Copies of this chain bind each other. A is one copy, B any other.
Amino acid sequence: MSKAIAGPEIERLIQLLARVPGLGPRSARRAALHLIKKKEQLFAPLSSAMAEALERVRICSTCGNVDTSDPCTICTDPRRDGATIIVVEDVSDLWALERAGAMNARYHVLGGTLSPLDGVGPDDLNIKGLVSRVAEGGVSEIILAVNATVEGQTTAHYITDQMAGMDVKVTRLAHGVPVGGELDYLDEGTLAAALKSRTAF
């Protein structure tokens, strides 16, 4: 707002809400007003949920997943197949694959893709951690579940090269992923099918 008309604390809330993806300046004002109107039902619970999540959130030092424990729930789940690691660019892809529910494997979050033009090299991604996990043994397959973009495929090739000489099978998702598409936008059936018909890389 151009003028401060609702008190500095509310103005600041609106300004910060406007920076949340999915909300803009107008949506932020509407969201703030809605929160104020639903003070007990939504505003108070959301405020405390935010404070708790902020305090407890951790990045898993093993796989890069977001959780409230480190190592994360998936890394410590004994029912998960530790011999298979699904490599993803981002936590949002991990979440999408979990919603598809097709695999009971573990994950490795790279934190992006190789992109020389943007100055993103191998050391900027969590690739060394992946090599270490495979080097420790017990991993028989790595599924490269990266986006079907140029950067994603470049990253997949680089990781495959790093695995040369190690006793691990490297596979990638089947061509159910649309070219140029992003995992997080796919429906769960397509993701599940792409996982099932993964091919040797």
Contact = CB atoms under 8 A, between A and B. Distances in A.
Interface of A: 1-10, 12-13, 16-17, 19-23, 27-36, 39, 42-47, 49-54, 56-57, 65-69, 73-74, 90-92, 94-95, 98-99, 101, 184
Given A7-B73, A68-B7, A36 B57 contact: yes
Contact of A9 (B2, B3, B17, B49): B49
Contact of A98 (B5, B10, B43, B50): B5
A65 B66 CA distance: 40
A66 B12 contact: no
Given A56-B7, A67-B10, A20 B34 contact: yes
Copies in the complex: 2
Nearest to A56: B9
B23 A53 contact: no
A27 B56 CA distance: 22
A108 to B, nearest CB: 15
Nearest to A24: B22
A99 B7 contact: no
